[in-house]
Amino acid sequence: MAIQTLTLSVLIASPGDTAPDRDVVEDAIRSWNSDHTMRRKIHLLPLRWELGAVPLVGQGDAQEVINAQFADEADIVIAVFNSRLGQATKRAVSGTAEEILRARDRGAAVHVFFSDAPIPRDHDPEQLAALNLFRKEVQEHGLTGSYASADDLKAKVRTCLEHDAYKAGNLGGGEVDRSRSRPGAVLRSSYTWENEPKQDSRGRVKMRRTRQRLLVENLGEVAAENVELEMSPVGEGNNPTALGELTALRIPPKSSVNFPIALHMGVARQGTIVHRWTEAGTPFSEEQTISWT
């Protein structure tokens, strides 16, 4: 039987030195689809210019062709940088930068990540300097992300996709929107912590995470009652340790509750949270992807 879904296109934007990272982002998109498309009726379509661009002559320079086919159409843009900014265009400091700025200016969801992995020994110093300058400029206009490894990038991209899919579902007819013909509770979880300095045996000061919590917010218009949470890992690893019952009698609208948790060795980088609650005796449930990094 045919399934009607809301399709969101996701452009993977990056310079030429990030081919492995581009594969990681696409894997995160396909993984999200595998976990959510059937249930939430939202499908994410990965776009990569090197795989899907149609060659055209007489339609502007190469970047303008890519813009027309991808950057100016994508609902979501995931941009990743390693040690290069890329080749400058007639309109921007690089093709990837142009894609980011055009998508941002038309109101698309844009997520920009910079690698914190060791710089390759054969890197181009001029490219790295240009990238660092662009990073500072982007940070003046919003929050950017960083990643230390492929697993770290995948987990953080999944979190971005969850945010965008949830918003699209509310605005564009996804499962969340169809199930909400009236005002209701909307529960969203996030991992929070505080940093505390700690001195090691050599006198070096390092920051450690303390007061780790699972923050559950009710973004809706109605109180959520008899709240129960269920955690499960995504991929290899275990759940964080809950330091108490993951239940709450009531979460009023526009308020939140904290559940103390502890992360330990072997915890999965990412997990899912199933929220279950009632409104005037009627049961509801929603699932969310969460990053523990």
Whether the Cβ atoms of residue 138 and residue 8 lie closer than 8 Å to each other:
no
Which range among 47-56, 111-120, 146-155, 195-204 has the greatest average pLDDT? 111-120
Whether the Cβ atoms of residue 46 and residue 29 lie closer than 8 Å to each other:
yes
Q: What pLDDT shows up at residue 78?
A: 96
- Mean pLDDT, residues 153-175: 74
Q: What pLDDT shows up at residue 62?
A: 65
pLDDT band at 238 (very low <50, low <70, confident <90, very high): very high
> pTM of the entire structure?
0.63
**Chain-wide mean pLDDT for the chain?**
84
Distances, alpha carbon 74 to alpha carbons 20, 59, 98, in Å: 21, 19, 14
What are the E-state strand segments in 16-98?
Answer: 42-47, 76-81
Instruction: Count other C-beta atoms under 10 Å from residue 166's C-beta.
Output: 21
Tell me how far apart the alpha carbons of residues 197 and 52 are, in angstroms, rounded to a whole number: 49
CATH superfamily for 182-291 is Gamma-adaptin ear (GAE) domain (2.60.40.1230)
Whether the Cβ atoms of residue 145 and residue 112 lie closer than 8 Å to each other:
yes
Q: Give residue-wise pLDDT tens across range 2-14.
A: 677 889 999 999 9
Q: What pLDDT shows up at residue 272?
A: 87
Domain layout of the chain by residue ranges: 6-172, 182-291
Percentage of the chain lying above the pLDDT 70 cut = 87
What are the E-state strand segments in the chain?
Answer: 6-13, 42-47, 76-81, 109-115, 145-147, 187-199, 205-218, 224-233, 241-242, 247-251, 255-262, 270-279, 282-291
Q: What pLDDT shows up at residue 124?
A: 93
Please tell me which residue, 3 or 96, carries the higher pLDDT value: 96
Q: Give residue-wise pLDDT tens across range 144-158.
A: 889 888 888 888 888
CATH of domain 6-172: 3.40.50
pLDDT band at 25 (very low <50, low <70, confident <90, very high): very high
Q: What pLDDT shows up at residue 50?
A: 63
Least confident segment among 46-55, 113-122, 157-166: 46-55
- Mean pLDDT, residues 104-132: 92
Q: What pLDDT shows up at residue 221?
A: 84
Q: What pLDDT shows up at residue 52?
A: 46
Tell me how far apart the alpha carbons of residues 196 and 211 are, in angstroms, rounded to a whole number: 10
pLDDT band at 54 (very low <50, low <70, confident <90, very high): very low
Instruction: Count other C-beta atoms under 10 Å from residue 177's C-beta.
Output: 15
Q: Give residue-wise pLDDT tens across range 74-87.
A: 899 999 999 999 98
Say whether pLDDT at 69 is over 80: no
Say whether pLDDT at 176 is over 70: no
Edge-to-edge strand order for the sheet containing 255-262? 187-199, 205-218, 255-262, 241-242
Q: What pLDDT shows up at residue 164?
A: 87
Q: Give residue-wise pLDDT tens across range 224-233.
A: 999 999 999 8
